Structure 1
């Protein structure tokens, strides 16, 4: 089974975006995302890929799409989360969004890397609730206007 980590930046209200872009610009968090995902496969939905706009260097991009004719240079495509996990293989894989993919991937995840942004932005895309009976916070690193929080699944 693939080792699944979900990585997300979300506001206090659970909002991660408006369907097109993130509601904040945090260079420190972008560097954190890069450091964590470098050398790994990343699974994302097509709209998340479109918001990034390109395959990120040093990482495998696996895009889940319902469009069977969709393709992009440097990107592998899958038509379901199980297909994407199979493509990713047994090594650690990062699920990077968006909301629908996060909700579907939550049962597969062993770890959550959550940037808690000290804002409550408007937006229609949210991260699923983190159930304290299923997840335990194991690390918290405060930053300026945010905190990096690591959760591990309770066994």
Structure 2
């Protein structure tokens, strides 16, 4: 199964200057719980936004750069190559960025979204989820609190 996972604002903002524009500790915990032990597919800029590779996950980095070889990562040059590198009987997560998500819609079976209830200035955006192609099967609202400055909702979509 191919799953796209992202935290997305109401205006589909993902981030600005290769950084998230919000801090939601529970979203980080959920991301870790879902992706640990699996292959994670990302573009080079997303990979470079991490201080170090994420533990207990196989990193597949997509780049156009021929001589790009970060330690402990599998490097490929297309999303299709990334998906073909992953085990077919396991869940693979596409974790960004914007261009990779746009390409990923065609390959994915499921989308796990943390919808951040706010509008944010951004330079990277998640693609529109077309309700003709995707069905919302789960939604779980969480109000803002002392650790979370914004209301957010976990949403799970499956391809129709």
Same fold (TM over 0.5): yes
Distance (Å, rounded) in 1 between the aligned partners of 2:133 and 2:8: 19
Alignment of 1:31-50 (within 5 A): 31-50=29-48
User: C-alpha distance in 1, partners of 2:11/2:107?
Assistant: 24
Using the size of structure 1 for normalisation, the TM-score is: 0.96
C-alpha distance in 1, partners of 2:17/2:139?
28
SS in 2 for 1:101: helix
Q: Per the alignment, in what secondary structure is the counterpart of residue 71 of structure 1?
A: coil
> Normalization by structure 2: what TM-score?
0.93
User: What stretches of structure 2 of length at least 5 have no aligned partner?
Assistant: 144-150
More helix by share: 1
Q: Does 1:150 align with 2:156?
A: yes
Q: Say if 1:41 and 1:62, in contact at 8 Å, map to a contact too.
A: yes
| Alpha-carbon distance in structure 2 between the residues aligned to 1:34 and 1:143 | 18
List 4+ stretches of structure 1 deviating above 2 A: none
Residue 136 (1) aligns with residue 135 (2): yes
Q: How many residues align?
A: 152
Where does 1:66-81 land on structure 2 (aligned, <5 Å)?
66-81=64-79
Give the secondary-structure state (helix, strand or coil) at the position aligned to 1:109. coil
